[in-house]
Amino acid sequence: MDFHPTEEQAAAAGLAARIFSDLATHERLAATGTGSDAELWKALTAAGLTAAVEEIGLLGLVLLLEEQGRTTAQVPYAATCAYGILPVAAHGSPEQRARLLPVLGSGEAVATGAFPARGRITTERGRLTGTVPAVPWLRDATHVLVPDTDRALWLVRTDAPGVRTSPVETTAPWSAGRLALSGAEAERIGSAGAYEHTLAAARTAFAGLQAGVCAGSLARAVEHTSTREQFGRPLSTNQGVMLRAADAHMDTEAIRVTTYEAAWRIDQGLPAHEYALTAAWWASEAGKRVVHAGQHLHGGMGADLDHPVHRHFLWGRQLDAYLGCGSELLAELGASIAEGEQA
């Protein structure tokens, strides 16, 4: 395993860090409300950071999503890359890649995914019927990647006949929506195995986003406890504070290293199902602990809904739920390991 970023990956991550830190400020995020920041999205696509994912791979994407998570930037970056660029590049036909990758890379098209499959979507002669209660970034999306009951992947345009979307508010402001399909036309993406590969990559990508959310929450807590004084000395000198922060740091690093390993294996074409589940489990369970600690270490200020750290708390809890929650992921991981031992 080699987790050292390539020159291209490092350059892309550095550029992303500058754009996110410059534009995803607390004031802009507060003004954005629950929607997306169109100016920030335009800046990311104009800088080539969306199109670059096809070249820098999943590990490169994870590095960029960490930077998004640090600032909780409200743009459909993770969804477009995980459910648009990566699956089309990996499983699309030459015609689909030529048609879809340029518009996804330029930001003209925005993708999201109705993942994971919950047995709600049926297919008949290439037309989809069913509902998905909440799809992240659906209000921004032009395309939705939808798995059916047989776990075949279908790409649906949100403006196609038979497609209805309606806003849904989730814990984090992800411009989510309810997807209702009634005989909607769709195009098939990939064949057998495309769903499993896409799900593993998406879980890994969103785990990388959680690593950034946790790092941002912890950074805010460190800054607060280092400058806030109690009884004439910084809060950070209190042993209880140091231990809580140290635990949060170790949890964040565990999310990061398991995510890097899963991303590296997927990029190398190695079996990665259980590695992606492991990364998702750490992101769910440990991520929840970290954002709680970040808010707790702010004391009374952490209870202020307008404080920047509260946004990290909301994102951390939303990612916990979106990844499937720890117990659900652990059950799936255990079943996969048992199945492998019996094979």
Question: In angstroms, rounded to a whole number, what is the distance separating the alpha carbons of residues 153 and 96?
Answer: 14
Task: Give ∠ CA 287-288-291 in degrees, rounded to 5.
Answer: 85
Q: What's this model's pTM, rounded to 2 decimal places?
A: 0.95
Answer whether 286's CB lies under 8 Å from 255's CB: yes
pLDDT of residue 342: 60
pLDDT of residue 10: 95
For the chain, list residues with pLDDT below 50: 343
Pairing mode, if any, of strands 233-234 and 229-230?
antiparallel
pLDDT of residue 229: 67
Q: Which residues partner with 155 through β-bridges?
A: 145, 187
| All residues at 6 or more sequence positions from 63 whose CB lies less than 8 Å from its CB, including other chains | 5, 9, 10, 12, 13, 16, 208
- Taking phi first (over 0 means left), then psi (-120 to 50 degrees means alpha), and beta for anything else, what does residue 126 get? left
Q: How many residues does the chain have?
A: 343
Task: Give ∠ CA 141-65-57 in degrees, rounded to 5.
Answer: 90
Question: In angstroms, rounded to a whole number, what is the distance separating the alpha carbons of residues 66 and 282?
Answer: 15
Question: In angstroms, rounded to a whole number, what is the distance separating the alpha carbons of residues 54 and 164?
Answer: 30
The two three-digit tokens of residue 163, written as one number: 């497609």
| All residues at 6 or more sequence positions from 50 whose CB lies less than 8 Å from its CB, including other chains | 44, 77, 80, 81, 85, 104, 105, 106, 107
| All residues at 6 or more sequence positions from 196 whose CB lies less than 8 Å from its CB, including other chains | 151, 273
Could you tell me the CA-to-CA distances from 236 to 95, 225, 243, 294 in Å, in that order?
A: 57, 5, 10, 13
pLDDT of residue 341: 63
pLDDT of residue 118: 77
Helix, strand, coil share (%) of the chain residues, nearest 5? 60, 15, 25
pLDDT of residue 233: 78
pLDDT of residue 226: 80
- DSSP class of residue 60 equals H
Q: Which helix (H) or strand (E) holds 255?
A: helix 239-267
pLDDT of residue 128: 97
The two three-digit tokens of residue 66, written as one number: 């960490």
